[in-house]
Structure 1
């Protein structure tokens, strides 16, 4: 019986090893393509890819909170706005160099996320979703209120980072590579975090809070920490957004942004490292595609596209590869 069991488990191990090897190959190919793309595409397409990277950074944080932490947030766009306005204020009023604004905006969002994560220690499910939704709702009028700092309804216009002369890059290419470097750093940090004790604690809280507490996991601490880390990545993304757009206004950070981000990470694939990147593509291109299909009712098209994707891939787009690997594994077992 043990020999039969070892034979049945062998294909699974081979599949896992092959998948890991092909995943690294895919990462290498994507990195080469990402470095090659801005030299072959027109500036508008380069801008679109840059925004995909910006949204992917933000969705990394949301995936950490929802996919790995098992909590829910409808206010992620608010932390995105904190990073954007934090960077804009530092550049516009304090005239700080733009590289300095990235860590400061990330730390600012982290601290605010840590403070606003208090409800996460007491609430869950729909109640927590309503609290985070309230944060996103009152943010816009709050930004318009402090006109001397935020520019009010008119927003703030900023100079975009210019490429150093030695690079020989155009402005759109330079901004793209800035976003690419930040995105790569964010993916590396997230991957390391999930492999650490913090990641294991988050997974235990997500899977079974009672069992996690019995094992000594501090539920309140790790729930607040998940909110803080999630906010930090959103703040970093908001900072890069400010660099790329060169303009911030309250109307860019409405509740729709938070809802679209949540839809993006669900469609991309919760709990998957590929989910934020696929979700970034979704957030960037699907709303504009909906507008092109039907200018009268883009929201209807947007909703139908989400339903269609979730019907085909209920675990998200990243889950399609997992399902294919599972089917392949079953085929090998039968053979």
Structure 2
């Protein structure tokens, strides 16, 4: 009897170890990331802050393209919209930057929902072209004389650097980094919760087979609009954080090349992986800086070469390598993959027609 109880206790302990690791590991990583500014320079802290901003923006593409199957080339416009809303609120309305962040996210959520209304009639290449047109038109709209007094026109808007609270022994750079880090952590776990819910399963059903999704009772217009709005909200929040971090916004900072850059980051990290946004953000933040030291044209060459290599050899992105390693080390925590392989339209034969499984998407 005692031996039987001992075996039960041992099996329960083994079962509890992965669960404990699952919940404690993110907390340990978060604390470690929060302490990074203590060992890097001021410019290094700035780069880490921008890294978090890009991760949030790429996360919006993962939701919209990776899980709902809607290709968008206009995320740079929502990034710029969030940046300008935050800058105008801070500079013109004298709103606290901590309040400007959620207001900018809410504004881009609404604009994303509005933009989705005409975009719902489009799909595939036509949807990509429509969103790309938005990315091209956005910088020109900011320069229009009718709103030049609000946006600052070509000159843009300069912001004062926010100070850390007096009761915290932090520099302004460290304080901004903590805000960006906590925002990224909140965005990541909120997105994970969304994708593991009924809404996330509806997104996957729409991506895999829209006709079957309708037959299953999925409201296509409603969930597509929600995907666009949620994606725009994440991207706009990243733009608002970027405006506060850089302390300056101008139309030429949000051209179509920004949209392309964010999409490249999503593909590099893994468009089907929530955690892959970290690798995508690392790529677009640091690789161009290193390549620029070699040649002025090297950053775009690095983008092109990396994109070709990833699409050919790692269609699931760089994160797939780490996922395989993690699943090998912790097989009990491995979950079945339900995300798309690579970009929609580049799946393996037959995968696009499969209905979405009931299991939650793995990251």
Counterpart CA distance in 2 for 1:22 and 1:67 is 27
Map residues 143-158 of structure 1 onto 2, 5 A cutoff.
143-145=142-144, 146-158=147-159
Residue 264 (structure 2) aligns with: 263
- What's the offset of the Cα at 1:166? 0.9
CA RMSD, aligned part only? Answer: 2.0
Pair 20,265 (structure 1): closer, same or farther in 2 beyond 3 Å: farther
Residues 297 and 194 (structure 1 numbering): CA distance in 2 closer, same or farther, change over 3 Å?
closer
| Pair 326,178 (structure 1): closer, same or farther in 2 beyond 3 Å | closer
The 1:321–1:93 alpha-carbon spacing in structure 2 relative to 1, beyond 3 Å, is same
User: Retained in 2: the 8 A contact 1:78–1:135?
Assistant: yes
Q: Are the equivalent residues in 2 in contact too, given 1:202–1:222 (CA < 8 A)?
A: yes
Mark the CA change 1:23 to 1:258 in structure 2 (over 3 Å): closer, same or farther: farther
Whether the 8 Å CA contact 2:158–2:247 is kept in 1: the answer is: yes
Correspondences of 1:319-334 after superposition (within 5 Å): 319-324=320-325
Q: Is the 8 Å Cα contact of residues 268 and 317 (structure 2) preserved in structure 1?
A: yes
Give the match for residue 4 of structure 2. none
The structure richer in helix per residue is 1
Q: What residue is the counterpart of 2:274 in the other structure? A: 273
Asked if 1:56 is matched to 2:55, the reply is yes
Whether 1:112 and 2:100 are equivalent positions in the alignment is no
Q: Partner residue of 1:65?
A: 64
Return the alpha-carbon distance in structure 1 between the equivalents of residues 119 and 190 of structure 2.
Answer: 23
CA distance in 1, matches of 2:85, 2:297: 35
> Under a length normalisation based on structure 2, what TM-score does the superposition of the two structures give?
0.82
Tell me, in whole angstroms, the C-alpha distance in 2 between the residues paired with 1:61 and 1:296. 28
* Structure 2: gaps of 5 or more residues: 1-14, 332-363
Residues 296-311 of structure 1: matches in 2 within 5 Å?
Answer: 296-311=297-312
Q: Contact 2:268–2:306 (CA<8 Å) still a contact in 1?
A: no
Q: Is this contact kept in 1: 2:105–2:236, CA < 8 A?
A: yes
The within-5 A match list for 1:30-179 is 30-145=29-144, 146-179=147-180
State how many pairs are aligned: 314
Return the offset for 1:207: 1.2
Q: Is the 8 A contact 2:267 2:307 kept in 1?
A: no
CA distance in 2, matches of 1:305, 1:26: 30
What are the ranges of 5 or more consecutive residues in structure 1 without an aligned counterpart? 1-15, 330-335
TM-score (norm 1): 0.88
